[in-house]
Structure 1
């Protein structure tokens, strides 16, 4: 997570230089410029930033859209290349025409301002981003929470409207406004996403998932009191992760779903490092933004 925690080319051709994928925002190191062009075999895994700022679902296992059909990858092939279907963030299908993700997926990390993602699509039903299974559905519009604060990471949620309804495909329900039970410390949650598997630009081409416990607000506030590491605010955030580290979401997983009891409870948002002890992942608390999201569903 930066500060905040994300066409196969001919083998003889160099890769184009693409912008870094917006990963889970981090507060310890900024995302720097990409490395110079690499040969095509490396490009198939997608462009990446520096090792410390680009990692993945840490400590997880393989997952599939057959079991989790509402897990979505967001794609911009012109911006992020064809090797991994142009994936740059994760998301969740919540109605046949609406996808929920993190607002910061549509912001320039270095400048803190809104940016376009050309040829934006939701990739649905594709476990392996190198393949062609499932559908690449054009996105018709992007709604960002009107009170989203990029610098403070508050209200980090966006709703995408699909141009083609996914009738008959299972969707995931949202935790309701003001609910507290899904956020009881120790509650088991699952987080899903695609991302760098080693921290060296080796993004996972396949969907991954990891189990993490919900962490008490007081503990998270102690981990993120403000300053360089960022400030946790329980009014719009929730933390999850192992006390000793080792399991977490990270770069390339932004906007991906945090699921509790079969419902969408959070979205991968930010944190310091990845899977570090004393620095759990911070997620958008869906129970705090559910009414605003429902208003545009």
Structure 2
């Protein structure tokens, strides 16, 4: 399982992720209302996202909020940033508590996950967390979701629509071999990785904290297998964790 979370604040998190703000490159614009559990933070950080995993709980990446204050509010199920388009149905909720994983200290290999408690429950459909390691086994097609960067040459328009793109889960040994940087290295005990072997789709700078899901027929059937965490500076050059 990637997480076991209760509202008494006893948390154990497994197979989540490690460090830089990421954004979806390539992929395509998501259908309206396809991801009602997708979360945007207000007033900041615009570089990060999250997902609703319980009517009153949001999961995201720890590095988005490490040594930082909690956001004031979240928009749940929003499709378009900085504007509202016809059919864009979402809810706004106040954040009352932010809990960064107690073992996260900003270092390599720390569990890069945090959760937030909302003031009142959301009516949007939450995403289910994986309880089966086979949901993220090598070769499985997963989907990364987020706003922002459309290509390595620049950003999307200021008013950006939610995007999604498919990636393939990679073997742990291959992740460890390809995700090596001066201050970062893949940690199999807490991380998984995925990539588009055609190098057309990737998460990139700005989608940190957003969900990696095994898509079902609809949002209620989606299964979240991870949280976007980090990857290469050239986002299409290799896998991301």
TM-score of the superposition, structure 1-length normalised?
A: 0.66
Task: Indicate the structure with greater strand content.
Answer: 2
Please say if 1:131 is aligned against 2:83: yes
Which one of the candidate residues 187, 200, 203 is aligned to 1:246? 200
Checking the alignment, whether the CA contact within 8 Å between 2:211 and 2:228 is kept in structure 1 is: yes
Task: Indicate the structure with greater helix content.
Answer: 1
Report the counterpart of residue 154 of structure 2 in structure 1. Answer: 200
Which one of the candidate residues 128, 144, 155 is aligned to 2:111? 155
Checking the alignment, whether the CA contact within 8 Å between 1:195 and 1:250 is kept in structure 2 is: no
Report the counterpart of residue 230 of structure 1 in structure 2. Answer: 184
Distance 1:221 1:154, change over 3 A: same
Aligned residues between the structures: 212
Q: In structure 2, list runs of 5 or more residues that go unmatched.
A: 1-17, 216-221
Shift of 1:276: 2.5
Structure number with the bigger relative contact order (C-alpha 8 A, sep ≥ 6) is 2
Which one of the candidate residues 243, 267, 277 is aligned to 2:227? 267
Shift of 1:243: 2.8
What is the alpha-carbon distance in structure 2 between the residues aligned to residue 231 and residue 149 of structure 1? 16
RMSD: 2.2
TM-score of the superposition, structure 2-length normalised?
A: 0.80
Report the counterpart of residue 121 of structure 1 in structure 2. Answer: 73
Shift of 1:260: 1.5
Shift of 1:229: 6.0
SS at 1:206 equivalent: coil
What is the alpha-carbon distance in structure 2 between the residues aligned to residue 229 and residue 144 of structure 1? 22
Structure 1 residues 107-158: Cα deviation after superposition (integer angstroms, max 9, x where no partner): 3xxxxxx1124x5221113211122452321111101111124121531111
Checking the alignment, whether the CA contact within 8 Å between 2:142 and 2:212 is kept in structure 1 is: yes
Query: Structure 1 runs of 4+ off > 6 angstroms?
Result: none
Which one of the candidate residues 92, 96, 99 is aligned to 2:55? 96
Larger Rg: 1
Report the counterpart of residue 142 of structure 2 in structure 1. Answer: 189
Distance 1:65 1:92, change over 3 A: farther
Shift of 1:64: 3.8
Shift of 1:245: 2.3
Checking the alignment, whether the CA contact within 8 Å between 1:149 and 1:156 is kept in structure 2 is: no
Structure 1 residues 9-64: Cα deviation after superposition (integer angstroms, max 9, x where no partner): xxxxxxxxxxxxxx23xxxxxxxxxxxxxxxxxxxxxxxxxxxxxxx311210114
Report the counterpart of residue 236 of structure 2 in structure 1. Answer: 276
What is the alpha-carbon distance in structure 2 between the residues aligned to residue 268 and residue 174 of structure 1? 14
